[in-house]
Amino acid sequence: MPEYVTVRVKRQDGLDSPSYWETFRIAYQPRMNVTTCLQQIALNPVTLEGRKTTPVAYDAACLEEVCGSCTMNINGSVRQACSTLVEALRKENPNEITLEPMTKYPVMRDLAVDRSRMFRDLKRIKAWIPVDGYYDLGPGPRISPKLQHQLYPYSRCMTCGCCTEACPQYTKDNRFIGAFAISLTVLFNSHPTGAVLKEDRLKELMEPGGISECGQAQNCLRVCPKSVPNVTGIAQGYRQVTAQWFKNLFSR
Ligand code: FES
């Protein structure tokens, strides 16, 4: 007797279209994940009631929790489709799996959302190490193992959006930059070469939508799939912003 998985998907045909639900029943395979469920639905897009429909749209690229593009709300919790196993979900709810798009970004179609805001915010804080020139610049500055150890957890951020989805301060209508961008500011400001742009980054954190809009709910820490220490990052961000504020005051 084959085992089945019931998958309920919140669908939307396009930007600003109304949403609706469709339910599918697919054959259970050991070690299958949510992306496998969506692939199975694409192979045979027929609802539980036997009505032919379209395959569910979703984003995916790496299929190994590295790119963050498959982030969605699964059984009401934000996480990646590629690394969420059906076996684990059955322990949460043995009857069905619900899939919904993230709520903080425009829905392009079904489970695919437009996370451009996150990438614009990465530009806002200049989330890069400036290296200019095509010639051999020689070895970069030395970074102590202690600093490497401190910074590595921040470098794991994959801009998936889990921290923004879980944050009550981050809404569709405001400009809050979000925990990921604050943590990345700390990462790049702490790098000896990246520190060249430190003041530009801190200026962005001082603007409306910057660090002061954090309400310290700390959901960002709880939901991050990469265990980025966002709360520590925000605390360090506050320290850097305060020091910059005093520096600006006395250099007038
Ligand atoms: S497909 Fe890249 S994180 Fe899931």
Same-domain status, 108 and 140: no
Same-domain status, 151 and 233: yes
Indicate whether this model's pTM tops 0.75. yes
- CA dist 137 and 169 (Å) reads 42
Atom of ligand 1 nearest to the CA of 59: 1
Pocket of ligand 1 (CB under 6 A): 60-63, 65-70, 80, 82
- CA dist 110 and 15 (Å) reads 10
Q: How many domains does the chain have?
A: 2
Among 54, 82, 113, the domain-final residue is 113
Which residue lies with its CA nearest to atom 3 of ligand 1?
65
Among 113, 129, 160, the domain-final residue is 113
Same-domain status, 91 and 124: no
Residue 1 pLDDT > 70: no
Can you read off the two tokens belonging to residue 172? 């569709």
The phi and psi torsions of 25 (rounded to 5 degrees) equal -125, 125
Range of the domain at 8: 4-113
pLDDT in tens, 84-143: 999 999 999 888 999 999 999 999 999 999 999 999 999 999 999 988 777 787 888 899
pLDDT in tens, 128-181: 998 877 778 788 889 999 999 999 999 999 999 999 999 999 999 999 999 999
Same-domain status, 160 and 128: yes
Same-domain status, 102 and 147: no
Atom of ligand 1 nearest to the CA of 83: 4
